[in-house]
Amino acid sequence: MQQIEPDDRALIEWLASHDESCPACGYRLRGLERTTCPECAHALRLTVGAPDVRLAAWFVAIVGFALAAGFDGVVATILTVGVGAAWVTGGHVPLPDVWIVLASFAGAAALMLGGSVWIFRSRARWMRWSLARRIRWAALIVAGVFLVHAAAGFWLLTHIN
């Protein structure tokens, strides 16, 4: 006869008095005496879980920063390559304007990447907040990132020749 592990015994004891369904096929498991579903042979285990951890707002906040960091980083890279190519070929590079734009995008990329890291590292604290507070912060971050980029773009368009 096969030896039953303590974790398996706990599952069998739980199913002896609780109506649970197989997570794979939905078969009713009450009274089951083994740790696989008799219908689909899916392995079963007794766990404590959090099926609804509500990570959406946290994820939106990270993505808000990360998308902006990616955009700013790509633009800064394109400008760097363009300035380098112009410099190597002896072309004209309007230095003050190009460096201001390049520094703006590189600085914004670093700032947005820092925001992503900050949100990522703050997950435990973030998850202790109420759902309303998490949603409010995610909305503020996305709106703030948009407004900062819109304002910086407007300033660059109106002040750079």
Cβ of 101: how many Cβ atoms within 10 Å?
18
Encode pLDDT of 32-89 as tens digits: 988 899 998 989 988 877 655 688 999 999 999 999 999 999 999 998 888 888 778 8
What is the percent of the chain where pLDDT is above 90?
41
CB 65 within 8 A of CB 113: yes
Q: Which whole-number Å values give the CA distances from 80 to 14, 95, 150, in the listed order?
A: 63, 12, 22
Q: Which residue has the tokens 């285990």?
A: 45
Q: Note if the pTM is more than 0.95.
A: no
> If DSSP codes are grouped into helix, strand and coil, which group holds residue 36?
strand
- What is the three-class DSSP state of 123? helix
- Residue-wise pLDDT for 119-135, tens only, equals 999 988 988 898 899 99
